[in-house]
Chain A
Amino acid sequence: MNKINRRDFIRVGGGLTLAGSSLLFPTLALANSPRVVIVGGGVGGSTAAKYLRKLNPDVKVTLIEANKNYTSCFMSNEVLSGDRTIDSITFDYEGLKGYGVDIVIDRVTAIEPDKKQVATVESGSFDYDACVVSPGVDFKWEAIEGYNPEVAETIPHAWYAGPQTVTLRKQIESMPEGGKVIIVAPPNPFKCPPGPYERAAQIAMYCKHHKPKAKILILDPKDAFSKQGLFRQGWSKLYGFGTENAMIEWVGAAGGGTVEEIDPSTRTLQAEIEEFTADVINIIPPQKAGKVAFASNLVEGDWCPVNKRTFESSLHPDIYVLGDASSAAKMPKSAYAANSQAKVAAAAIVAKFNGMDPGDPTFVNTCYSILGEEHGISVAAVYTLDEASNTILPIKGAGGLSPMDASAEQRKREVSYAHSWFKNVINDMLG
C-alpha cells in the first residue's frame, strides 16, 4: 500500500488543489497573504498576474506597468497593411482588475533583492515575497551608427507597437507609386523571429492593391531566418519573389545585408558592400533584455539567466524573469512562449508559498504569420525541460512548420486560426 502524504494528496487533486489548499490551511492564508509584485504588463507579466490569482486567490498580486494601455506587438504588422487599426490591438487592464490584481501605472526604477522591494518613480516602494519581471527587450542603439531614439521618431523601428506603428503605416501610405521601403532586420536573438519577414509581406499586401510598382527590400545581417522556406514560397506566390518583377527582395549577410550606419537626413543606409536609399526605412535594431533587468542586475551578457523549471533568476532568489528578456533556450522570444512560461512560473511561485516543490514544467509555442489575405503559415513546438543541461527542448517528432505543399484552403484556415490565436492570447492574459 502506498502512503499518501500531505504533499502528494494535494498534488493528486489537480484541479482540486486550489480549493484544497485554502481549505486546509485557512489560518496560514489569512494571517499572512503572500505578496507578488509583477514588473511589466506585457504577455509574461499579465499572464502571470492572472494565473497567480487563478491558482491561489489568497496571493496578493500587484502589477506595475508604465503604460495605461497595452498595445500588442503581435498582429501589429496587420496595421501596416491597413487590415486593422492600432485601436484594435490596444487594450486596458480592467480585465485583470476583475481577477483581483492591483494595477499600478508607474515606472519601476529598480528591484532590490536584499530588501525584497520594487522601487517606482512616483508610487513609492512595494514589498514582495516573490517578484516577477517581464520587461521585454531593449535596443542596442549603438549597433547602427546614426540611429537613436530621436531618429526613430521619423525612421521608426515599430518593434514596439504604438505611435511608431502608426507613423510607419502613414509613411507607406504617403510614399509615391513605385516607391521603395527598406526593412533592416536584426541579428539573432530577437523578439518575434518571423516578424520582419511577415512585415514585408503585410506591406506588400497593401502595395499590391495601392502601389503595385512599389519595392520592399529586406536587408538582413543573417543568412537564414525563421520559416524561411515558407516565406519564400508565399512571397513568390503572392508578390513575385525571385522574379524580375519581385515586390519583395531579400539580401542576406553573404550578399552584404548587414547595415552599419544610417544618414537620417538623406535616408541613406551604409551596408557592408553598398549604400541603399529608400522612401521609407524601418530599422529593427539588435536587442537585449529590457532596462529594468539591467538596472536590477538580472542580466548575464544580454539576457537574464533562469532556472528553467521555475523561471526563477539564477542570480537573485525569489525574482522570476519571463518572456523576451529571459534566456529561455531553446524557446523563441514569442508571445506564446511568454504566456506558457508565465504559467509555469505562477505555479512554481504558488507551490513555493505552500511549501511544496514545483511540478515538472511543460511549454508550448505556436506562432502564426499572415502573408496575404488568405495565406497563413505557422510553426509550433511542445517543449520539455532537460534538467541536466537546463535547456528547454522541443519534443522530437512533434511540432514543426506548416507543410510546404499545403492547399490554398489550409493556408486560408491558418489565417483564421492566426486571428483566433490573437484573440485567445489576449483574453488569456488580460481577460
Chain B
Amino acid sequence: MRNETMIKKARNLLLALLLALLPIAAQSGPSGQALAFTCAGCHGTDGSSVGPSSPSIAAMDPDVFIDAMDAYKRDQRNSTIMNRIAKGYTDEQIKAMAWFFAKQKLRLHVQKTDQQLVELGKQLHDTHCEKCHEEGGRAGDSGTLAGQWIPYLDFSMQDFIEGRRPYPRKMKRKVDAAIEEQGEQAMPALIHYYGSKH
C-alpha cells in the first residue's frame, strides 16, 4: 500500500511538472487559482475550512477531488449545494482546481471531542480502516479524514450507510465489521477519533 502511494505521489509530481512546462495554448479561460479562489467562502482560504461543517479541501488528493466533483456533477453523491455548483465547471477546470488544492497546506483546528470515544475510535481505525486511510486518515488517495470537521464526517457516514452515496464494497465490509464489534458507538467513535486530529 505504502509503495502504491509513493508511486502515485511520484506520478503526481511528474504530472505537475509536465503541466507547468506545457505551453499556454490549452489555458484559455480562468486559471486554476482564479477558479479555486471562488471556493473559499465555504471551504476556507486556500481550502482550509474554519468550520463548523464545510469540509476542508486543502492538500486533497487530486484524484479524490476530481472523483468527488464528478459524482456531484452527475448527482451520484448526496449534497445540499455542491451538486448545483459542480455542474458549472468543465472537466479541465475541475482538474485545474484539483491541482491547486492539492498543493495547499491543510490548516487544522482543534475540535471538541469525547476522549473515550476517541480512544475507542483509534482501536477501530487501527483494526479496520488504517489499511486504506493511512496514518490515521491523513490526506491521501482515500480522501482526508484526519482533522476533518466532525459534522461533515457525520453527514458523510450517514450518506454512505443510508445509500445516498456510492459505498465502496470493501469500505462497507469494514464499516459493518466495526459496527458489529462496537454497535451504535462505532460511528461516533471513529468520527471523534478523526475529528480529534489537528
Contact = CB atoms under 8 A, between A and B. Distances in A.
Contacts of B80: 378, 402, 410, 413-414, 417
30 contacts: A4-B24, A11-B27, A12-B20, A12-B24, A14-B31, A15-B100, A336-B41, A340-B37, A340-B41, A347-B34, A347-B37, A359-B30, A360-B29, A362-B30, A364-B41, A378-B81, A380-B85, A382-B85, A399-B84, A399-B88, A400-B84, A413-B53, A416-B53, A417-B53, A420-B42, A420-B49, A423-B50, A424-B43, A428-B41, A431-B45
Interface string A390-431: 000001011110100000011001101101110111011001
B20 A427 contact: no
A13 B20 contact: yes
Contacts of B30: 359-362
Nearest to B44: A424
A343 interface: yes
Contact of B24 (A8, A364, A413): A8
Given A11-B27, A399-B88, A424-B54, A362 B38 contact: yes
Interface of B: 20-25, 27-35, 37-45, 49-54, 80-81, 84-89, 96, 99-100, 103, 149, 151, 155, 158
A424 B27 contact: no
A12 B20 CA distance: 6
Contacts of A2: 23-25
A313 interface: no
Contacts of A416: 52-53, 151
Interface in A343-386: 343-344, 347, 359-364, 366, 378, 380-382
Given A11-B24, A402-B80, A343 B34 contact: yes
A401 to B, nearest CB: 8
Contacts of B28: 360
A155 B31 CA distance: 48
Contacts of A419: 52-53
Nearest to B21: A12
A381 B28 CA distance: 21
A51 interface: yes
A397 B24 CA distance: 28
A15 B103 contact: yes
Given A364-B39, A428-B45, A382 B34 contact: no
A72 interface: no
A339 interface: yes
A419 to B, nearest CB: 6
Given A421-B41, A423-B51, A431-B50, 13 more contacts: A3-B23, A8-B24, A343-B37, A364-B39, A364-B41, A382-B87, A382-B88, A399-B87, A413-B53, A424-B42, A424-B44, A427-B45, A431-B45
Return the 4 tightest CB-CB contacts between A and B, nearest first: A382-B88, A398-B88, A2-B23, A420-B54
Interface residues of A, number: 52
A142 B62 CA distance: 55
Contacts of B103: 15
A421 B42 CA distance: 5
B191 to A, nearest CB: 15
B34 A366 contact: no
Contacts of B23: 2-4, 8, 12
A16 interface: yes
A425 B40 CA distance: 7
B42 to A, nearest CB: 5
Nearest to B33: A14
Nearest to A420: B54
Given A4-B23, A13-B20, A339-B41, A395 B88 contact: yes
B81 A380 contact: yes
A366 B54 contact: no
A267 B23 CA distance: 68
Contacts of A398: 84-89
- For A2, A14, A50, A381, which residue has the most chain B Cβ atoms within 10 angstroms? A14
- For A409, A413, A421, which residue has the most chain B Cβ atoms within 10 angstroms? A413
- For A362, A378, A410, which residue has the most chain B Cβ atoms within 10 angstroms? A362
A312 B37 CA distance: 19
A363 B155 CA distance: 28
A381 B84 CA distance: 8
Contacts of A339: 40-41
Nearest to B25: A2
A148 to B, nearest CB: 35
A268 B84 CA distance: 44
Contacts of A421: 41-42, 54
